[in-house]
Amino acid sequence: MAIRPRYLSELGADLYCGGGYPIHEFDRGRDTGWFERQVRMRITLSLGLVALAFASLFVGVIDISIGALWQDPTAWEVLWISRGPRTIAVVITGGSLAICGAILQMLVRNRFVEPMTTGTGQGAALGILLVTLVTPTAPMLAKMGIASLTALATSLGFLAIVNRLPPTQPLMVPLVGLIYGGIIGAGVTFVAYQADLLQYIDIWMSGEFSGVLQGRYELLWIAALVALLSYFAADQFAIVGMGQAVTTNLGLNYRQVVVTGLLAISIVTALTVVTVGMIPFVGLVVPNIIARLAGDNLRLTLPMTALMGAILVLGCDIIGRLVRYPYEIPVGSVFGVLGAGVFLWLLYAPKRHAV
């Protein structure tokens, strides 16, 4: 018997946790401090993001102090043209990629996948390369559109491969994703080598924000909008994570929700690659950290996932500016090192299910 769609929001919030474990409302009721912990965590993350954003405005090659803002008009220009847009771009990128990672993990039903390591980011780079080869003078929106389509195609390819893997071996999914993305990335590199575009392709493969200025990051607002709209479908993504049979029995169109989720992931990934390049492990690390700290209720944890993603990417960006000052290390390299370590921790750490 199918359940009417208007009841799906309650079902999605109460029946699903990302790894396939049930969330029992009676356990939550016994824990009188659950709500207080959720509020406290959100306030802490919000204050942390505000503090890092404020620090980001004053970290860079050009020395700016709070006092200089009242005396030097050039300081305001630097903030308005460079530091402010860069900080906004970092926050949007980190939050959007973290949300996309959480959604992809629901669709694939595996905690160890994320868009940049399963072929989606490499597919976006392939689309940009094709546009560059065919129509080099194409506008940025055209590049974004083609990159989104190729990212969606490679995401569907990965999903088709995953559906044929044995469900009893979940660790095969991230390994296949790494191989799948590596093959696509190798193809992109080979074509770029043949066309003498290797230096150009490095911009897409290594995410960094040093080139973000006013007028060069505004497409990321589309990614922010897509990530925001994804929140309203969080319960449907959670139900899809329970499997096709359960999804159909609950009255949802399984394929429609999956394509919707992959489309959102593809758009955000394409916009990120076009604007700042690939930043790996954000969509892998952040959702797992939030799941361990706050549980797997997607509707409740998605805002915290976005905040944590923005905090970690912004923190890595600040570290990249300071480690070799006055030079910069790409944020993709910094987060790649951090993400690899956290990924190993997630593999070997004992499981703990929060509610």
Per residue in 40-83, pLDDT tens?
889 999 999 999 999 988 887 877 777 777 777 787 888 888 88
DSSP state of 213: -
What does the alpha-carbon distance between residue 108 and residue 110 come to, in Å, rounded to a whole number?
5
- Of the candidates 230, 19, 13, 14, the one whose C-alpha atom is nearest the C-alpha of residue 109 is 19
The 10s digit of each residue's pLDDT in 295-308 is 778 888 899 999 99
Please check whether residue 162 lies inside any domain of the structure: yes
Residues 200 and 180 sit within 8 Å (Cβ to Cβ): no
Q: Are 188 and 177 in contact (CB under 8 A)?
A: no
Both structure tokens of 33: 């401090």
Q: Is residue 355 part of a domain?
A: no
Residue 354 located in a structural domain:
no
Question: What pLDDT was estimated at residue 28?
Answer: 46
Domain-embedded: residue 3: no
pLDDT value of position 53: 92
pLDDT average, residue stretch 173-189: 89
Question: Is 314 a domain residue?
Answer: yes
Distance separating alpha carbons of residues 47 and 56, to the nearest angstrom: 14
Task: Give the per-residue pLDDT at 13.
Answer: 40
Does residue 4 fall inside a structural domain?
no
**In terms of DSSP H, where are the helices of 195-281?**
198-205, 220-231, 234-240, 244-249, 254-275
- Is 228 part of a structural domain of the chain? yes
Q: Which residue range is the domain that position 84 belongs to?
A: 19-348
Residue 223 falls within a domain, yes or no?
Answer: yes
Asked whether 220 and 275 are in contact (CB, 8 A), the reply is: yes
Q: Read off the pTM.
A: 0.84
* pLDDT tens for each residue of 332-347: 888 888 877 777 776 6
CATH number at residue 102: 1.10.3470.10
pLDDT at residue number 51: 94
- Domain total in the chain: 1
The answer to whether 263 and 227 are in contact (CB under 8 A) is: no
